[in-house]
Amino acid sequence: MFINPEVPLDSLPSADDLDWQPLHPRFVRRLQVGALVRVLVVGIIGSAAYFLMTSGDSAAMARFADRLLPFALTAFGLFAASVLLWPMIAVPRRGYVVREKDILHKSGVLWRSVKAVPFNRVQHTKLDSGLLDRRFGLANLSVFPAGAGGHRIRGLGTDTAEQLRVYVSERIEAEALDPADED
Amino acid sequence: MSRSDPGAWQRTSPFAIVFFIGRTIKSFTRSLIQLVATFGALAVLIERNPQVALVIPVGILAIIVAGVLEYWFFRFRIEEDRIHIHQGIARKTALDLPFDRVQGINVERSLIDRILGLVTVSLDTAGSATAEGQLPSVTSELADDLRTRIRAHRPATVADGIATADEQAEEATPAAEESGRREPSPGQVILKLTSGDIARIGFSNRNLVVAAAVLGLLGQSLDFAEDRLRPIFESAGEAFAGAGALIQVLVVIGFVLVGLGLVLFGALLRYHGFTLWREGTAYRTRAGLLTQREVVVEARKIQQLTLSHNLVMRLFRRHRLRALPAALLPNQGGADAAGLQIAEVLEVPLLRARQAEDLRTRVFGREGDALTLQPRSPAFLRVSPVYIRALTLRISFTGALVALPFLVPLLQSNAGTNLADAVQGLLGETPMLGAGSAGTVALGVLLWWLVLIPPAALIAWVRWRRQGYLHDDDGLASRSGFLGRKVDAFLFRKAQSVAVVQSPLQRRKGLATLNVQLACGPLSVPYIDHGIACRLRDYMLYRVESSRRRWH
């Protein structure tokens, strides 16, 4: 495929067999709590709609609501179960690797992706954590190369995230200052 | 005013007032609907109370006063390494723009500017959207001076690109560049468009196709036109009885001619005297009949080259080339999404294949020798035919989903009854499907989806035939398209991030999609072998990580 006499392809570092770092164990719980909140919101809206429909004047509307109820409950049950269980499936399949020259991030259960961002293309980094994240002692690390919105690694322990951020920043500096080593 | 005295605050020329008034009007008319609504409301009000008409002169006066005030408060100061621009009447803004953050300088000359020998300078910044550096109606000397300063201030690069021989020669004679409004010397000119070329641009206008479609619709309302026109003909002495058909033909021809005239005039307005030339390390284009626009893009800031042609351009055997610079660099401050700033794209609206290849070698330098922008090149590798299957499914599903809101009411009505009857008649079964039942609806949607599959498959097949990629040691070119064709090419070392993505189907077939993020946008190579995708990713990372050259 390529002809590249100086660097034999086989000797190139491969991003396939890597020691993927798992996300923080509490991240599953955090996502589940987030999902629970969403389930509750949907449930409240749904039951409010049901009571509005049945308590109204229209008998036809009430009959319609009653006919719809089993379907709605089944759909709601499936939604709740999948949303609550999904983090347990998805989180173990996510992970990251920090190498000397780049950071890799894999994610996805059905659609799987492995993203790599070289440090010498990173413009800046960002740490963020929401209300729930903080309760679970978690933080999210984003690295921003040019042109895209950035790559966000969610569900790191606060300490790990801070260490990573410092490391990435150092690497960015190092890559920028590295003397010419012309390719 | 004539020179950019460092450190001194200065105003632009008073003719900038016209620019500010124009800008106010432009921002007013940005939404046509809003404008129509405003005028409509105004008309109604005036009809009821004629005194409301006073609003109009008062409004015009207000806009003019605002323009004068904006001019008065607009001040700029050029320092060694940066430019300060202070502006605003009520809400003051102070822009501090270091030259090394300037991505490109663009010069625009409106009709008034041209008469007075002034230019409007826009500074493309690699930063936040608010940092819009625009100097209206300044002298061209000042624009040139600014350009020289910005170029001079370019950070000293370790190994800044491969300076070709002529580039070095030009750098050695900067004096030639200083002289006023520069006309490109014949040696620098790469490409000029003739009037024939501009006519071709007009003919290959995308809107012409749309216009033809609109014409088809108009054909149905031609009776209306006929009714209007017939009295004219009849008053002319009822020269011919069967004038109706003739009028229709005349109206259609008239529409075609007017449409053609419009697109040709549009092309002339925009591309008259189009010239592309190289100046130092930058590529510049200049074009325009009334308002002359100049685009300057530094060669090393070009991230991607895109060659495309639509059906009409294929007939002319011509292409369109776009050189995309970095679209946005995230703010150092951390405001990510806010930092959108689209840099000016260098566009060559019409060129031959050979010229495109010539430009590619100029822009990429010694790198990417084996790349090509020619969509017909046999060097392009096909992607896996599984792509057809995936695309067929995607297109037909989308089609079925889009049709769902129309399909369901239809199936619940008579058509649904007929469908249910037909199916039962066909199967000879006892009635179990009633009109409007969930079963009928599901069956109807399923049938509709099945009907959609053959055309979807055809579209997918054509798109698969267009899809392709090729790469060498330095870069990659990806081809795509449906009716037209498009080739995107970039150098590996310009990549920002790389991802290998697999759908469930791709996993089963051992395929993957390679997504490359460039500073000007994403680029993907779908449905290639997973192993190849991973090797390309690893190689690309190696090239990026071992590169010490500036990518922008």
Q: What is the pLDDT of residue B356?
A: 93
As to burial, measured by CB atoms within 10 angstroms (0-12 exposed, 13-18 middle, 19+ buried), residue B388 is buried
| B496/A146 Cβ within 8 A | yes
Binned at pLDDT 50, 70 and 90, residue A128 comes out as confident
Rounded Cα distance between A53 and B186, Å, is: 79
List, as ranges, residues 65-84 from B with C-beta within 8 Å of A.
none
* DSSP string across B264-331: HHHHHHHHTT-EEEEETTEEEEEE-SSSEEEEEEEGGGEEEEEEEE-HHHHHHT-EEEEEEE------
Residue B219 has pLDDT above 70, yes or no: no
Q: Chain B contacts of A7, Cβ < 8 Å?
A: 542
User: Is the distance from CB of B389 to CB of B463 less than 8 angstroms?
Assistant: no
List, as ranges, residues 313-332 from B with C-beta within 8 Å of A.
326-332
Rounded Cα distance between B220 and B283, Å, is: 49
Name, in order, each residue with C-beta under 8 angstroms of B175's C-beta and a sequence gap of 6 or more: none
- Check whether residue A113 and residue A66 sit in a common domain: no
B265 or B328, which is more confident:
B265
Q: Please count the other Cβ atoms lying within 10 Å of the Cβ belonging to residue B101.
A: 17
Tell me how far CA of residue A52 lies from CA of A40, A48, A58, B507, in angstroms: 18, 6, 11, 47
Q: Please count the other Cβ atoms lying within 10 Å of the Cβ belonging to residue B299.
A: 23
Q: Chain B contacts of A117, Cβ < 8 Å?
A: 496-497
Within-domain flag for A16:
no
Within-domain flag for A7:
no
| A182/B334 Cβ within 8 A | no
| A111/B501 Cβ within 8 A | yes
Backbone angles phi, psi at A40, to 5 degrees: -60, -45
CATH code of residue A167: 2.30.29.30
Residue B148 has which token pair?
Answer: 């020289």
Q: What is the pLDDT of residue B332?
A: 39
Range with lowest mean pLDDT among A92-106, B336-350, B362-376: B336-350
**Among all residues of chain B, which has the CA nearest to that of A117?**
B497
Counting one residue from chain A and one from chain B, the pairs whose CB atoms sit within 8 A come to 134
Name, in order, each residue with C-beta under 8 angstroms of A161's C-beta and a sequence gap of 6 or more: A127, A129, A138, A139, A140, A141
List, as ranges, residues 120-139 from A with C-beta within 8 Å of B.
120-121, 123-124, 126
- Check whether residue A58 and residue A104 sit in a common domain: no
- Check whether residue A30 and residue A86 sit in a common domain: yes
Within-domain flag for A182:
no
pLDDT digits (tens, 9 = 90+) for A146-182: 876 678 999 999 999 999 999 988 888 887 755 444 4
- Check whether residue A85 and residue A98 sit in a common domain: no
Split into its structural domains, chain A has a count of: 2
Q: Chain B contacts of A116, Cβ < 8 Å?
A: 497-499, 537, 541
Rounded Cα distance between B539 and A12, Å, is: 7
| A3/B326 Cβ within 8 A | no
At B515, which helix (H) or strand (E)? strand B511-518
| B545/A120 Cβ within 8 A | yes
User: Is the distance from CB of A35 to CB of A83 less than 8 angstroms?
Assistant: yes
Q: Chain A contacts of B332, Cβ < 8 Å?
A: 123-124
- Among candidate residues A90, A114, A139, the one where a domain is terminated: A90
Residue B547 has which token pair?
Answer: 């590169």
Q: What is the pLDDT of residue B382?
A: 94
pLDDT digits (tens, 9 = 90+) for B18-37: 888 887 777 766 666 667 77
| A116/B498 Cβ within 8 A | yes
- Check whether residue A129 and residue A172 sit in a common domain: yes
Residue B121 has which token pair?
Answer: 């300078």
The beta-carbon neighbor of A146 closest among B326, B501, B503 is: B326
The beta-carbon neighbor of A178 closest among B329, B519, B548 is: B548
| A149/B337 Cβ within 8 A | yes
| A118/B545 Cβ within 8 A | yes
Cβ–Cβ contact B438 with A under 8 A: no
B184 or A7, which is more confident:
B184
Within-domain flag for A121:
yes
Structural domain containing residue A133: 94-177
| B336/A110 Cβ within 8 A | no
Cβ–Cβ contact A156 with B under 8 A: no
Binned at pLDDT 50, 70 and 90, residue B312 comes out as confident
- Among candidate residues A90, A123, A146, the one where a domain is terminated: A90
Our CA dihedral for B53, B55, B61, B67, rounded to 10 degrees, sits at: -130
Q: Please count the other Cβ atoms lying within 10 Å of the Cβ belonging to residue B490.
A: 26
Within-domain flag for A154:
yes
- Check whether residue A119 and residue A57 sit in a common domain: no
Residue B230 has pLDDT above 90, yes or no: no
pLDDT digits (tens, 9 = 90+) for B414-446: 655 666 666 666 655 544 444 456 677 788 888
The beta-carbon neighbor of B158 closest among A14, A145, A180 is: A180
Within-domain flag for A153:
yes
Q: What is the pLDDT of residue B171?
A: 39
Q: Give the distance from residue A108's alpha carbon to the nearest chain B alpha carbon, in angstroms.
A: 9
Residue B206 has pLDDT above 90, yes or no: no
| B499/A115 Cβ within 8 A | yes
Q: What is the pLDDT of residue A90?
A: 94
Binned at pLDDT 50, 70 and 90, residue B333 comes out as very low
The rounded percent of chain B whose pLDDT value lies above 70 is 74
- What's the count of helices (H) and strands (E) in chain A, helices before strands? 4, 6
Cβ–Cβ contact A33 with B under 8 A: no
* DSSP string across B522-538: EEEEEEEEHHHHHHHHH
In this prediction, residues B397-409 reach a mean pLDDT of: 83
The beta-carbon neighbor of A145 closest among B158, B472, B517 is: B517
Within-domain flag for A161:
yes
- Check whether residue A79 and residue A105 sit in a common domain: no
The beta-carbon neighbor of A114 closest among B329, B500, B544 is: B500
Per-chain mean pLDDT for chain B: 78
Handedness of CA B167, B173, B178, B183 (dihedral sign): negative
The rounded percent of chain B whose pLDDT value lies above 90 is 25
Rounded Cα distance between B472 and B251, Å, is: 55
Cβ–Cβ contact A111 with B under 8 A: yes
Q: What is the pTM of this model?
A: 0.71
In this prediction, residues B291-316 reach a mean pLDDT of: 87
**Among all residues of chain B, which has the CA nearest to that of A183?**
B547
In this prediction, residues B140-151 reach a mean pLDDT of: 82
Rounded Cα distance between B522 and B211, Å, is: 31
- Check whether residue A82 and residue A122 sit in a common domain: no
pLDDT digits (tens, 9 = 90+) for B44-87: 888 888 887 788 888 889 888 988 988 888 888 888 888 888 88
In this prediction, residues B129-144 reach a mean pLDDT of: 73
Our CA dihedral for B152, B155, B161, B163, rounded to 10 degrees, sits at: 30
Residue B335 has which token pair?
Answer: 């405001």
In this prediction, residues B103-131 reach a mean pLDDT of: 71
Rounded Cα distance between B20 and B63, Å, is: 9
Cβ–Cβ contact B535 with A under 8 A: yes
Q: Where are the beta strands (DSSP E) in chain A?
A: 95-98, 102-107, 112-118, 122-128, 138-145, 151-157
Residue B549, SS3 per DSSP: coil
Range with lowest mean pLDDT among B67-81, B206-220, B494-508: B206-220
Name, in order, each residue with C-beta under 8 angstroms of B264's C-beta and a sequence gap of 6 or more: B198, B199, B202, B203
Q: Give the distance from residue A20's alpha carbon to the nearest chain B alpha carbon, in angstroms.
A: 16
Q: What is the pLDDT of residue A65?
A: 84
Residue B164 has which token pair?
Answer: 């070709």
- Among candidate residues A90, A117, A140, the one where a domain is terminated: A90
**Among all residues of chain B, which has the CA nearest to that of A181?**
B548
- Check whether residue A83 and residue A113 sit in a common domain: no
Residue A137 has which token pair?
Answer: 């002692």
Rounded Cα distance between B96 and B345, Å, is: 24
Cβ–Cβ contact B522 with A under 8 A: yes
| A121/B496 Cβ within 8 A | yes
pLDDT digits (tens, 9 = 90+) for B262-292: 888 888 988 998 999 988 888 889 898 888 8
Q: Please count the other Cβ atoms lying within 10 Å of the Cβ belonging to residue B242.
A: 7
User: Is the distance from CB of B419 to CB of B411 less than 8 angstroms?
Assistant: yes
ipTM: 0.85
- Return the CA Rg of chain A: 24
Region label for B308, one of left (φ > 0), alpha (ψ between -120 and 50) or beta (otherwise) = beta
In this prediction, residues A135-153 reach a mean pLDDT of: 85
- Check whether residue A143 and residue A172 sit in a common domain: yes
In this prediction, residues B299-321 reach a mean pLDDT of: 89
- Check whether residue A127 and residue A82 sit in a common domain: no
* DSSP string across B24-77: HHHHHHTSHHHHHHHHHHHHHHHHH-GGGGGHHHHHHHHHHHHHHHHHHH-EEE
* DSSP string across A79-92: HHHHHHHHHHHHGG
The beta-carbon neighbor of A4 closest among B473, B504, B547 is: B473
Binned at pLDDT 50, 70 and 90, residue B495 comes out as very high
Probe site for chain A from B497, B500, B538 (most A CB atoms < 10 A): B497
Within-domain flag for A11:
no
Q: What is the pLDDT of residue B257?
A: 84
pLDDT digits (tens, 9 = 90+) for B159-191: 333 333 334 333 333 333 333 455 677 668 888
**Among all residues of chain A, which has the CA nearest to that of B336?**
A149
Probe site for chain B from A106, A109, A111 (most B CB atoms < 10 A): A111
Q: Give the distance from residue A43's alpha carbon to the nearest chain B alpha carbon, in angstroms.
A: 25
Region label for B137, one of left (φ > 0), alpha (ψ between -120 and 50) or beta (otherwise) = left
- Check whether residue A102 and residue A84 sit in a common domain: no
